[in-house]
Chains A and B, each alone.
Chain A
């Protein structure tokens, strides 16, 4: 049998539902002749032209002076009846196939699709085979209801690491605040990591961040003589009215290669280059020579920034800190006096953690001392901050053990981390 090897095209199905275009045209002309423009209000352009073409070919209408007029009233349209029959899975007279194929109202079904679909016909099925849709035989199947409460097999989409996600959010906050992004080397000279920041070579301050010293490369080269000379002077006898640290500064010590203990080294480098006003930030890995446990890592991510401006004042520093933490979702912030050898005022911002009912310290900030800025060629105030990322992320994500970052990469945690808000 031939009938079931054809099925309606999309156009065929549409004509079956709303009538052939020429049928609809004749209907519109029943009450008298109409202008083409009038007709195009009722029928879409492409359909109207199909309708006129077929109606004229069969001498059903005439067109004169821009008017379309019905000539023959009682026409029959076998195509519509054929479409109906085919849709019901019945056969039609032989010539009908040719006419419908030519008008692209039907298309041939591949024999194997038909074969395949027939196997499902009359049965209750789970999966929907594509052959059923190609042949229309889905009408003869029953789709089994599913347990719609089951989510099914776990899906693991490709996702960013928790830290990367938050780094990007932090990065966007500072870009939005008009800061420019900077970066610097992971292996750094003692000069940029300590000396340029007025950390004396023999002082507890230099021990404060337990430092990794490099065996290879062991020594770095220093910047130009002018900066080195000024830094030496700042340490030994002070600059800009300072009395300095009053000891003999050793160039050799400043050449020691270390793993940077803070991104403030990047700020020091930037200070030697910027022209005020300037706002610069950097997010990067820093290193602490510590024993790893649930509270301590040897590698951490620091958020660093400086604001270099003639009119910069302490309240602005606090303003930036407040704004940053507000944007990270921490509404309450307080500021405690602190000590860093390179800033004065020095401040430790703390945010209120409602879940824990406690204040949490997240980093340090301050205004760079003149002994830091003058040797690097900056005369105006420089607001500076260096904030930790991990503890902040731990609060946001509920992660309790800092080793989940960098150290463990537990896929269970990374795959299921909730990154928002």
Chain B
């Protein structure tokens, strides 16, 4: 999630009024949580659906209408520059799409330049998926001239001075030595895409780096923006967002003709989109009575126009996919806190899941026997299972950031032992139990795995032993009328001769025993431990079958 920081003076200038603390707090109700407010700076969180709000210009524009300084939408248009950009088919398999715009006639001061760079970075990080999906180059156009070309070349085909360097380098050298080159080299496979001017001067090597030649400064008066990417729509969206921001700074936008072989597109297209508004639909969802003029006023407050049944959507509003998005705009303009709340009269009969009620009954039985419930993580690691003498044949995780969470537990036992190990300093005896889901692999299941609910109980303390846990199992199962048989069990987790399988109607539902001293030592537990773990699901199944 992106947090953007704005200069308060600059924001106030662009928003058309000095912003007081109350104003800044009110903007939260537009859907942007206020992260930090300092004397000269303010930070907001911007959700990924509103990349236009990553720019101070876009934010100010929205604040301007939301706070009522000036409602409605700005009028953006792009004149024709007559400049062409030829896209060579060599980029098709490298980075196929490019769009560009020329911005002239404005002035960038230091804070505007800073803002523009923040916008570029934030767009790269969020919407652009760290430049993979969308990458932006902003150039001082005075040193180059069109028509421009976009093509893919081999890694040592050209030499140019990359941004921040003083010598010419080949793409291969940049990718191997330049800091940005190294950082983004994973986005380049074989050939490198290049944007060059009519004289072959390199403007940029997307998505890695620009050339030093077109370095942007506060004095730049004529800008060329290139946006490249893997898909067409996202790059057009980004180009519109940046173009609109610069228009708010007093620049005028001019389009280029992007020539893809026989196809041509003209970018940027800053004309608004239109979407039909069904007022009845909005009324039903919002529970409000709305006249056309209400719809128009609400939309205008959100910077969206309204004309004869249609919403007029400015070119940077890339988040409006369906009229439901317009309904939300109306709701935000109306104010979430102004809605009358109610519990609707919807007839229904509630139903409980028996399995959860049974879990509760099982927990009640264990609590009655004096056991404290614990809840452990469902995720574990092989090490915990190995330490517990339990074989691991479990669901495994591919990309965990933590070595503690690499598998999904198949037993509760390791979690119980981990808890006992962590409670060495607490008074003994310790009587604990856990009733929870474990996951077993099951190739027949839709997801390839299946949950089983188990229950495990342990006694730790000087007198913990088979003779103290066995009556607990008996009392627990007796409270559900379950008869069982214990049969000698050899299991690494338990002391030999002090462990048993628990059998009900000949079916193995779990095990009971004194935990092996090696296992206790592995965990650093210095008290004897006796425990059982059985399938609660099996117990429930037996009860359910008995009832039928």
Interface residue ranges, A against B (CB under 8 Å): 154, 156-161, 163-164, 168, 171, 174-183, 185-189, 202-205, 208, 210-221, 238, 240-247, 257, 259, 277-279, 285, 287, 289-292, 298-299, 307, 309, 311-316, 318-320, 322-323, 334-339, 341, 344-347, 367, 369-371, 381, 405-412, 414-415
One digit per residue, 1 when the CB lies within 8 angstroms of any chain A CB and 0 when it does not, for chain B 322-354 equals: 111101100110001101111110111111110
Instruction: Indicate if the CB atoms of B356 and A202 lie closer than 8 Å.
Output: no
| CB of A369 to closest CB in B, whole Å | 6
> In the complex, which of the residues A186, A318, A339, A345 contacts B48, with contact meaning CB atoms closer than 8 Å?
A339
The main secondary structure of chain B at its interface with chain A is loop
Residue of A nearest to B349 (CB): A178
Considering the chains assembled together, what is the distance between the CA atoms of A410 and B497 in angstroms? Answer: 32
Considering the chains assembled together, what is the distance between the CA atoms of A386 and B181 in angstroms? Answer: 42
Count residues of chain B with CB under 8 A from any CB of chain A: 93
Interface residue ranges, B against A (CB under 8 Å): 1, 28-31, 33, 47-50, 126-127, 129, 133, 231, 233, 284-287, 321-325, 327-328, 331-332, 336-337, 339-344, 346-353, 355-356, 360, 363, 366-379, 395-402, 404-405, 408, 419, 422-423, 426-427, 430-432, 437, 439, 441, 443, 445-451
Q: With a CB–CB cut-off of 8 A, which chain A residues contact B360?
A: 168
Q: A285-B378, A337-B332 are in contact. List 17 more A-B contacts (CB 8 A).
A: A164-B363, A171-B356, A179-B350, A181-B350, A187-B447, A238-B321, A257-B448, A289-B401, A313-B284, A314-B287, A315-B341, A336-B31, A344-B322, A371-B322, A381-B284, A408-B422, A409-B374
Considering the chains assembled together, what is the distance between the CA atoms of A163 and B255 in angstroms? Answer: 59
| CB of A389 to closest CB in B, whole Å | 12
Given A158-B367, A185-B447, A242-B321, answer yes or no on A178-B336 (Cβ-Cβ < 8 Å). no
Instruction: Indicate if the CB atoms of A411 and B372 lie closer than 8 Å.
Output: yes
A-B contacts, 6 listed (Cβ < 8 Å): A180-B350, A210-B401, A238-B321, A298-B405, A309-B344, A345-B328
Q: With a CB–CB cut-off of 8 A, which chain A residues contact B439?
A: 186-187
Q: With a CB–CB cut-off of 8 A, which chain A residues contact B47?
A: 338-339
Considering the chains assembled together, what is the distance between the CA atoms of A106 and B363 in angstroms? Answer: 48
Instruction: Indicate if the CB atoms of A344 and B328 lie closer than 8 Å.
Output: yes
Residue of A nearest to B436 (CB): A285
Instruction: Indicate if the CB atoms of A298 and B402 lie closer than 8 Å.
Output: yes
| CB of A51 to closest CB in B, whole Å | 48
Considering the chains assembled together, what is the distance between the CA atoms of A34 and B344 in angstroms? Answer: 73
Given A175-B352, A367-B285, answer yes or no on A189-B422 (Cβ-Cβ < 8 Å). no
Instruction: Indicate if the CB atoms of A186 and B328 lie closer than 8 Å.
Output: no
Considering the chains assembled together, what is the distance between the CA atoms of A242 and B129 in angstroms? Answer: 24
Instruction: Indicate if the CB atoms of B28 and A336 lie closer than 8 Å.
Output: yes
Instruction: Indicate if the CB atoms of B328 and A158 lie closer than 8 Å.
Output: no
| CB of A159 to closest CB in B, whole Å | 6
Q: With a CB–CB cut-off of 8 A, which chain B residues contact A210?
A: 401
Instruction: Indicate if the CB atoms of B426 and A344 lie closer than 8 Å.
Output: no
Instruction: Indicate if the CB atoms of B337 and A334 lie closer than 8 Å.
Output: yes
Instruction: Indicate if the CB atoms of A307 and B344 lie closer than 8 Å.
Output: yes
Q: Give the A-B pair count, Cβ closer than 8 A.
A: 287
| CB of A288 to closest CB in B, whole Å | 10
Q: With a CB–CB cut-off of 8 A, which chain A residues contact B378?
A: 186, 285, 287, 299
Instruction: Indicate if the CB atoms of A212 and B400 lie closer than 8 Å.
Output: yes
Instruction: Indicate if the CB atoms of A278 and B372 lie closer than 8 Å.
Output: no
Ranked nearest first, the 3 interchain pairs of A and B with the lowest CB-CB distance are: A217-B448, A337-B31, A158-B367
Given A178-B349, A186-B378, A289-B400, answer yes or no on A202-B133 (Cβ-Cβ < 8 Å). yes
Instruction: Indicate if the CB atoms of B366 and A277 lie closer than 8 Å.
Output: no
| CB of B35 to closest CB in A, whole Å | 13
> In the complex, which of the residues A161, A187, A415 contacts B375, with contact meaning CB atoms closer than 8 Å?
A161
Instruction: Indicate if the CB atoms of A214 and B348 lie closer than 8 Å.
Output: no
Considering the chains assembled together, what is the distance between the CA atoms of A211 and B401 in angstroms? Answer: 10
Q: With a CB–CB cut-off of 8 A, which chain A residues contact B395?
A: 187, 214, 216-217
Residue of B nearest to A154 (CB): B427
Q: With a CB–CB cut-off of 8 A, which chain B residues contact A245?
A: 321
Of listed A159, A187, A277, residue having the most chain B CB within 10 A = A187
Considering the chains assembled together, what is the distance between the CA atoms of A409 and B412 in angstroms? Answer: 14
Q: With a CB–CB cut-off of 8 A, which chain B residues contact A164?
A: 363, 373, 375
| CB of A270 to closest CB in B, whole Å | 13
Considering the chains assembled together, what is the distance between the CA atoms of A410 and B426 in angstroms? Answer: 8
Considering the chains assembled together, what is the distance between the CA atoms of A208 and B437 in angstroms? Answer: 26
Considering the chains assembled together, what is the distance between the CA atoms of A174 and B422 in angstroms? Answer: 35
| CB of B21 to closest CB in A, whole Å | 16
> In the complex, which of the residues B48, B286, B352, B379 contacts A298, with contact meaning CB atoms closer than 8 Å?
B379
| CB of A289 to closest CB in B, whole Å | 6
Instruction: Indicate if the CB atoms of B350 and A175 lie closer than 8 Å.
Output: yes
Q: With a CB–CB cut-off of 8 A, which chain B residues contact A242?
A: 321-322, 324
Instruction: Indicate if the CB atoms of B451 and A246 lie closer than 8 Å.
Output: no
| CB of A155 to closest CB in B, whole Å | 10
Q: With a CB–CB cut-off of 8 A, which chain A residues contact B369?
A: 158
Residue of B nearest to A223 (CB): B446
| CB of A412 to closest CB in B, whole Å | 6
